[in-house]
Every structure is written in C-alpha cells, then in structure tokens.
Amino acid sequence: MREEGYVSSTKLVLHDVEEEEKEHMLKYHSEKLAVAFGILTMPAGRPIRVMKNLRVCEDCHSAIKHISKIVGRLIILRDSHRFHHFNNGICSCGDYW
C-alpha cells in the first residue's frame, strides 16, 4: 500500500506513545480487518460490504481507498453517518465525512 502512496494518519491517535507505536495501533482497526477478511473469503468480482456502528476514522478511510484501487474491487462501508462506496481509489463521499 505504501508503494501506491498510502501514508498512515496518526494525528488522531491520542495515546502518548511513539509515532511507530501509533502506526502499529492503526493496523488493527476493525474496518481494515473486516476488509482483509472479505478479500480473502469473498469470490473475486463480488463487492465487499462492511457495517460499522461508529464513524470511520480518517486513516481507515484513506487505507480502504487505496485497498480498493489495489485489489480492483468495490468496497461498501456503512458507518454511523453514511454509506461509503470505494471503487478504484475513489470514495462516493468525496472525502467529506
């Protein structure tokens, strides 16, 4: 993902730890894990749907945009405010959430 231009957004991690530890903490957000599970288990060509009862964080939003471009699949994420349709590195919300 880094080769495609993804950079972790650690400014919203409020723990008093080193920058490296903040990046490590962001790797285990539920949205990213759900998308990874969907990529591994869903047949190619089918959209991946994730539902979340909280608002998606900025880092996960950016990461899922890059993932959709890399794997070439439609990823639909429902958070507490709206549906996000990620396709070819673009989100339907226009990066406004």
pLDDT at 28: 84
Domains of the chain: which residue ranges? 2-91
Q: What is the pLDDT along the chain (97 residues), one digit of tens a residue?
A: 888 888 777 777 766 677 778 777 788 889 999 999 999 999 998 999 999 999 998 888 999 999 999 999 999 999 998 999 999 999 999 988 6
pLDDT at 22: 79
DSSP 87: E
pLDDT at 10: 73
Neighbours of 87 (CB within 10 A): 16
Burial of 68 (0-12, 13-18, 19+ CB in 10 A): buried
